[in-house]
Amino acid sequence: MTNRRRMLHALKVAPELGNYADAAVLPADTDPQLYLSHNELPQPFHLVCEKDTVLSQMSGSSDVLLRDSSVNRFRMKIGDHVYVPAGTPHQIVPVEAGTAIRFMALKAGRQGAVWYCPDCQTELHRYEWEHDNDVTPSSFYAAACARFSADEAARTCGSCKAVHPEIDLAAFGWSSPVPA
């Protein structure tokens, strides 16, 4: 499975990729690498990256929700960029469907999906993996979401006992998670 896309006509190609596809678009040895997505649904988790990352809004608009940061929310409109420091959990919530680019180090290191209690905002669970430039990131996202959905204990808050809902992978176009 290759994770390469041609950057040519990014705004036309992005909707074909699906939500949070994060498809690499530059030659394999380019650092930083650019990852393209067209997002219509709220990201089903907060992403944590071992290294700094930058988000760029090419069309539409989104809120970037940050945790453990002095800034909690940033509204991205066309042309806006958001710097996300290493280790900062962040979630993209589209206000209007749009295309975004993520700038990420070629050797990005560990990444993780983190969920928070829908009621008291306590961290529920996280799954981590080593970023692999040859695997589409959405494969890792799908695997993490599938594991989270299948584990009711992971979705149940230890503080207030609220249960996070299961994640509909098909809504994101993530039907077959590959990595574990």
In the chain, domain spans: 10-167
pTM: 0.90
Over residues 140-164, mean pLDDT: 95
Structure confidence at residue 8 (pLDDT): 55
Residue 75 has pLDDT above 90, yes or no: yes
Give per-residue pLDDT as tens, 31-47.
999 999 999 999 999 99
Q: How confident is the model at residue 59 (pLDDT cuts 50, 70, 90)?
A: very high
Structure confidence at residue 125 (pLDDT): 96
More confident residue, 155 or 68: 155
Structure confidence at residue 7 (pLDDT): 47
For 161-169, the CB contacts below 8 A with 24+ separation are 162/117, 162/118, 162/119, 162/120, 164/115, 164/117, 164/118, 164/124, 165/118, 167/44, 169/142, 169/145
Classify domain 10-167 by CATH architecture: Sandwich (2.60)
Give per-residue pLDDT as tens, 114-133.
999 989 999 999 999 999 98
Residue 163 has pLDDT above 60, yes or no: yes
